[in-house]
Structure 1
């Protein structure tokens, strides 16, 4: 769950990205003081989300393995945002995934599939790509300024209700809301 200072969908995206920056800076750990600092810098426009070209270059250096479990066999290109839910067939939306993870995930969003406890273990480059995709979708749909007190605007059409029930996050602004637009 995000802290109380995260009030809009855009701020939830910035918060998740700030945690990603922390994981990169602190060897996989989340330093919440640093997260707060990076969140404010993102929100205030002092820093920006990195470009996709930089991440593509770094991604080319990774070993060819499943980005979710590390398996090196039965690999397939997987769409971060499933095509069946409007995901693009582009390099920005593609990652290596093993058959087991791909089948297990199906057409779920990455955060819903991984759950609140495992989502922050997603490889930093993959998480960055995914958050950029979600950012673009929320910009396109005009949902960036939805606040927790108006989150019900998304709940009516969201396909993540079962995850919200499971994690007791109904009508709360969470990472699951980020996946509500596809």
Structure 2
């Protein structure tokens, strides 16, 4: 669960991104560092990496699957937020992955696929792109500033991951499912 300072959908996105920054700095377990990155992101003192920087990272190993790192086999184009969930057909929503990973993920969203227990094992390139995309989509939907105290009224009724939240004991609590559950097949 995120710290109490994470109050809105925007905050949850920035918290996840702060954790990525910490992991990249080799400080995955340094909660104080994560919190300082979160506050700086939230307050606009730092910004997340540019699309060009992400593109460069993505193309460092052009023959390797972004999810599992396997190289040598044919790669497919994967929509991080599936098209059936309203994911746009744009480069910011696409990565190259091996067929087994593409099949394993199927039509599920990234956090839905990995679950809460494995969410921190998502490769940085995929999660970084995904968080930026979710930020843009929530901004378009007008839900970036939904407060965690309003989840049950404003987000949960439109979310199709309610059964996951019930199974994991997170109903009406701010999790990564709140970031993607409102984007689903209509």
TM-score (norm 1): 0.93
Measured after TM superposition, the shift of residue 101 of structure 1 is 2.3
Give the equivalent residue in structure 1 for 2:14.
Answer: 14
Correspondence list, 1:121-160, <5 A:
121-152=121-152, 153-160=154-161
Quick one: distance in 1 between partners of 2:74 and 2:57? 23
Instruction: Give runs of ≥4 in structure 1 deviating > 3 Å.
Output: none
Give the equivalent residue in structure 2 for 1:176.
Answer: 177
Quick one: distance in 1 between partners of 2:108 and 2:164? 10
Deviates more, 1:128-137 or 1:90-99: 90-99
Report if aligned partners of 1:74, 1:98 keep a CA contact under 8 Å in 2. Answer: yes
Report if aligned partners of 1:71, 1:98 keep a CA contact under 8 Å in 2. Answer: yes
Correspondence list, 1:48-67, <5 A:
48-67=47-66
Quick one: distance in 2 between partners of 1:140 and 1:122? 25
Quick one: distance in 2 between partners of 1:125 and 1:69? 12
Gaps of 5+ in 1: none
Report if aligned partners of 2:58, 2:66 keep a CA contact under 8 Å in 1. Answer: no
Report if aligned partners of 2:66, 2:125 keep a CA contact under 8 Å in 1. Answer: no
TM-score (norm 2): 0.91
Quick one: distance in 1 between partners of 2:118 and 2:29? 13
Deviates more, 1:51-60 or 1:61-70: 61-70
Aligned to 1:151, the other structure's residue is in SS state helix
Aligned to 2:76, the other structure's residue is in SS state strand
Correspondence list, 1:62-73, <5 A:
62-72=61-71, 73=73
Give the equivalent residue in structure 2 for 1:95.
Answer: 95
Report if aligned partners of 1:137, 1:181 keep a CA contact under 8 Å in 2. Answer: no
Measured after TM superposition, the shift of residue 98 of structure 1 is 2.4
Measured after TM superposition, the shift of residue 88 of structure 1 is 1.6
Measured after TM superposition, the shift of residue 63 of structure 1 is 4.2
Measured after TM superposition, the shift of residue 70 of structure 1 is 2.6
Report if aligned partners of 2:67, 2:126 keep a CA contact under 8 Å in 1. Answer: no
Aligned residue pair count: 181
